[in-house]
Amino acid sequence: MRSSRKARNIADNPHVGVCIVYRRLPVGPPFTVHFQATADLVPMDHETVRPLIDSGQLKSIIGHGALDMDGACFVRIRPGPTLHSFGPGVSTIDLIRHPLTSGGRTVSNKDEAQR
């Protein structure tokens, strides 16, 4: 909703941080992927969103009546050139042996950084 705190914050400052947390192992710290990005608010009838809605690809997101609400919108996130992670791409044995030091990685998209 454009009136939500999140939407108002994005409208005031489009620089955002994103952290995606998920668990692959039943023990130990969860895995994370995090990055800096810019975000903007996209109306439900935007030319890039409408085909996704019409084809049913966003059914799980909009299936609760969001299309009928006044001021509904999507947040479009454009990641920056660097992505940080803990866990993905590291062997399970390394994570078990060295849980605090083996899991961190940083990936930089140099092509994106030059834009």
Query: What domains are defined for the chain?
Result: 5-113 (2.30.110)
Contact in structure between 18 and 85 (CB atoms under 8 Å): no
Predicted model pTM? 0.70
pLDDT in tens, 34-66: 999 999 999 888 898 889 888 988 888 776 776
The predicted-structure confidence for 76-104, as pLDDT tens digits, reads as follows 999 999 988 887 777 778 877 877 777 77
* Rounded (10°) CA dihedral 3, 51, 63, 67: 40
Residue closest to 108 by CA, chosen among 77, 80, 89, 78: 80
Q: In whole angstroms, give the CA distance from residue 37 to residue 83.
A: 10
In sequence order, the 6+-apart residues with CB closer than 8 A to the CB of 43 are: 49, 73, 74
Q: Could you tell me how many residues make up the chain? A: 115
